[in-house]
């Protein structure tokens, strides 16, 4: 559903205006509620609520005693908040996550489509990490193998 990169800014109140390309997709799907969270604190994940509920259903199939599930739930619960998009297409990023991910007011951010959710990064930090973590030949071979499996 979501693809591509759209630059944006976070305003002084911690709100992110949804890029118009993504807003159009959300409107078409009649989505106005989101779960905004993070699995690592380095970026914000904006999940349309119906997509996040699918994740929760999948996780509920596993034992809550599973260490990986517990860690993931702790992280996504700590950073997470359910929010509603306002009439000006803005969503409020959770304060604790804004601070940790350096998504403060007037900082340029990049909003990247990750198929069924959006990821928001501090643009300068993301670009540094992108340059330092290019796809290796091994990565390319692994991707090619994954893509061949679908044929």
Query: Does the structural domain 5-123 have CATH classification 3.40.50.300?
Result: no
Token reading at 151:
């044929």
pTM over 0.85: yes
- pLDDT of amino acid 106: 81
Over range 34-46, report the average pLDDT: 97
C-beta of residue 29 within 8 angstroms of C-beta of residue 48: yes
**How far is Cα 123 from Cα 108, in angstroms, rounded to an integer?**
6
The tokens for 136 are 């290796």
Give 43: exposed, middle or buried? Use CB within 10 Å, 0-12, 13-18, 19+: buried
What pLDDT, in 10s, does the model give residues 76-135?
999 999 999 999 999 999 999 999 999 988 889 999 999 999 999 999 999 999 888 888
pLDDT at residue number 31:
95
Buried b (16+ CB within 10 A) or exposed e, 49-84: eebbeebeeeeeeeeeeeeebeeeeeebeebbbebe
- Say what the pLDDT of residue 126 is: 94
E strand or H helix that includes residue 74: helix 67-79
- Residue 124, pLDDT score: 93
- Given a cut of 90, whether residue 64 has pLDDT beyond it is no
pLDDT beyond 70 at 150: no
Confidence at residue 107, expressed as pLDDT on a 0 to 100 scale: 87
pLDDT of 20 reads 94
Q: What is the mean pLDDT of the chain?
A: 93
pLDDT-derived band at 65 (thresholds 50, 70, 90) equals: confident
| CA 60/CA 55 separation, integer angstroms | 9
Domain definitions of the chain by residue range: 5-123
């Amino acid at each position: 559903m979501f693809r591509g990169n759209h630059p944006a800014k976070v305003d002084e109140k911690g709100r992110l205006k949804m890029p118009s390309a993504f807003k159009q997709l959300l409107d078409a799907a009649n989505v106005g509620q989101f779960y905004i969270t993070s699995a690592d604190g380095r970026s914000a994940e904006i999940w349309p609520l119906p997509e996040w509920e699918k994740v929760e259903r999948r996780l509920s199939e596993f034992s809550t005693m599973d260490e990986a599930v517990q860690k993931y739930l702790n992280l996504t619960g700590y950073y997470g908040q359910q929010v509603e998009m306002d009439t000006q297409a803005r969503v409020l990023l959770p304060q604790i996550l804004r601070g940790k991910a350096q998504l403060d007011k007037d900082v340029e951010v990049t909003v990247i489509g990750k198929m069924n959710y959006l990821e928001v990064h501090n643009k300068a930090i993301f670009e540094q990490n992108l340059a330092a973590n290019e796809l290796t030949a091994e990565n390319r071979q692994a991707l090619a193998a994954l893509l061949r499996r679908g044929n």
